Amino acid sequence: MSTWIDFVVYATLILLIFVFLPRNGRKFTLPTIADRNPEWFANHRDVVECLERSRWFLNACYVWAAVSIAVLLGVALDAIAPDEAPKWEVLKDLNSTLVIVGLLGWGACSLLWLRWLGTHVPLAETRRASLKPRVASDYLALPWRVAVEALTVLHLGTWVVLGAMGLGSGARYWSGFAFMVAMTILFAVIAAAVPRRRPGFADRVFGDGLRRAELEAACLLRLTPLIPGGMLISELVYGLDPDRVGHLLLVTVIIAMLALPLRLRPASPPSPPFGVESRLGA
């Protein structure tokens, strides 16, 4: 497999996190403040205009994306000589380091922003919220819900069957199985909490589309244990080394999850549930 495939996958992830998502999210900064407290928004036009002009966070994200891709490109072109490790492994480790460092900076900025918002912009006395109960079936088509549950059961069942047949054994095998069970439960709890999230400004802008996108991401999140689970089974049972392919698959799933918010548009008219679009177009 060409290392350029690795480079393209990792560069796509970096562009998505540090270019497209920040640029897409910036246009909702001022509407979020106005929704939180319209009176404060109207009475502090100087602060609002200053925020509107500010682009330091966006520019910082752009710079980090450019630096990260330049480093990866240097490795791909042998301008930055890797050590004894294979080039694909160097790209993988560098990408993980660059993304983690960038996300730490992004997280710190987000915490500072939320602190500023909570300190300077008080909540309006009257808030709007829907009392309608929400469940996953309101947003996701039945075949998708069944597919997620079936694949989850098949994945964990494979571990049990291989262990019962004696193909998988030992402390590492069963500790890997326990880790897969823990991941599956954790992601199922997260997915179950998505419909119950308290609605906010973004829900009023995007309508049910936002909740649907969140549940689509939750579906993908619930299926992610299949990738490390398949990697461990391949290694422990069949003696294969799936690290490179498995990691690329995992990054590709993360890209798909992060790309979901980019397709959101103001809700008019409401869009069909996840998995229904293809049937309507058939």
pLDDT in tens, 67-79: 999 999 999 988 8
Together in a domain, 26 and 63: yes
Together in a domain, 257 and 178: yes
Together in a domain, 159 and 48: no
Residue 280 lies in a domain: no
CA distances from 128 to 28, 195, 199, 200, 201 (A): 18, 17, 9, 8, 9
Last residue of some domain: 84, 104, 124? 124
| Ordered alpha helix ranges (H), the chain | 3-15, 21-26, 29-36, 38-43, 45-53, 56-76, 87-120, 142-164, 171-193, 201-206, 208-223, 226-236, 243-259, 277-281
* Count of the separate structural domains present in the chain: 2
Q: pLDDT digit string (tens) for 212-241?
A: 888 889 999 999 999 999 999 998 888 888
Segment among 38-47, 72-81, 201-210, 266-275 with least mean pLDDT: 266-275
What domain range is 31 assigned to? 1-124
Rounded average pLDDT over 202-220? 85
Together in a domain, 166 and 64: no
Residue 96 lies in a domain: yes
pTM listed for this prediction: 0.79
Query: Residue 62 — pLDDT band, cuts 50, 70, 90?
Result: very high
The percentage of the chain sitting over the pLDDT mark of 70, rounded to a whole number, equals 89
